[in-house]
Amino acid sequence: MGYKAKFRVWRGEGGEGQLEDFTVEVNEGEVVLDVIHRLQATQVPDLAVRWNCKAGKCGSCSMEINGRPRLGCMTRMSTFEETETITVTPMRTFPVIKDLVCDVSFNYQKAREIPSFTPPKDVKPGEYRMQQIDVERSQEFRKCIECFMCNNVCHVIRDHDENKPAFAGPRFLMRIAELDMHPYDELDRKESAQEEHGLGYCNITKCCTEVCPEHIKITDNALIPMKERVVDRKYDPLVWLGSKIFKRSGV
């Protein structure tokens, strides 16, 4: 059975704007993105919203629904009361282009700052031989759909814009962890994780894990293990001494 839902949607360009109220028809089985599309089709033809797959796999329709970072296409209308007013705003951490569409170029810039996979020079593509247990950890991180909700919700840059130059955000610290744990990656990424990409800013409050639509355990499996690797390198005198005596690395 359909009903009329009350929506408050952010409208505006370049950050200036306001929340506007609408009443929109909702049908059984619909998600928030469906309702946004109906709003666009019937009342506000110039409403800007980024979307693509409608299946929770492209990471395009990240928005904040009732203040929580969510994918519009994966948020069922049945999770709300029919009488509830649903507030939809753009991601708060990134500059707004128009309405619900953000400029997420911060993330692409951070991605470029991370050196790519660096295999040994004498191993050619096609010659990699790895056991499943050696790559399992990294594979979890490859599920990332780059919706950037983890970077959006992280208070380090959400509440402190001035930290953006120094902090790569959970998504890219996870990328560093993925490469650092890779059996064939030769680059030492521990020092740079801390000094250049701001791992020390993370205070492990786990919001990135809470909002991840792919249910990646970002904090427990990427950020904390990476913090521990940094401790090995920078803060643990015993490990430092052991590495000098036994000359071990990359085990």
Partner 1 sequence: MTQTTAESPTSKQRAQLKVRTLRTDRWWLVPALTFAGLMSFLIYGVWAIFDKSYFAEPYIAPFSSPCLATSCPEGARFLGLAPFGDWYGLPPGLLILGLPGGFRLTCYYYRKSYYRSFWLSPPACAVSEPHKKYSGETRLPLIIQNVHRYFFYLAVVIGAILAYDAVLAFRDEHGNWGHVGLGTIILVANAVLIACYTLGCHSCRHITAGRLNHFSRHPIRYKAWTFVSKLNARHQQFAWASMYSVMIADLYVRLVAKGVINFPFA
Q: Which residues bind partner 1 (CB under 8 A)?
A: 10, 12-17, 64, 66-69, 84, 87, 89-90, 92-98, 101, 103, 105, 131, 133-134, 153, 155-156, 158-161, 163, 180-183, 185, 198, 200-207, 210-211, 220, 224-225, 227-232, 234-236, 250-251
Q: Give CA–CA dist 125/68, Å, rounded.
A: 42
DSSP class of residue 92 equals S
**Amino acid residing at 35:** V
Q: State the minimum distance, in angstroms, from the CB of residue 118 to partner 1.
A: 13
Q: State the minimum distance, in angstroms, from the CB of residue 24 to partner 1.
A: 18
Q: State the minimum distance, in angstroms, from the CB of residue 52 to partner 1.
A: 14
210 or 214, CB closer to partner 1?
A: 210
111 or 224, CB closer to partner 1?
A: 224
42 or 231, CB closer to partner 1?
A: 231
- 105 SS3 class: helix
Give yes or no for a contact between 71 and 31, defined as CB atoms under 8 angstroms apart.
Answer: no
Q: Give CA–CA dist 18/31, Å, rounded.
A: 23
**What is the DSSP pairing of strand 68-71 with strand 96-98?**
unpaired
Q: Give, to the nearest 10 degrees, the angle between helix 105-112 and helix 170-180.
A: 20
Distance of CA 213 to the CA centre of its chain: 9
Q: State the minimum distance, in angstroms, from the CB of residue 99 to partner 1.
A: 9
What the block records as the tokens of 43 is 């009342």
Q: State the minimum distance, in angstroms, from the CB of residue 224 to partner 1.
A: 5
Give yes or no for a contact between 33 and 58, defined as CB atoms under 8 angstroms apart.
Answer: no
26 or 222, CB closer to partner 1?
A: 222
1 or 133, CB closer to partner 1?
A: 133
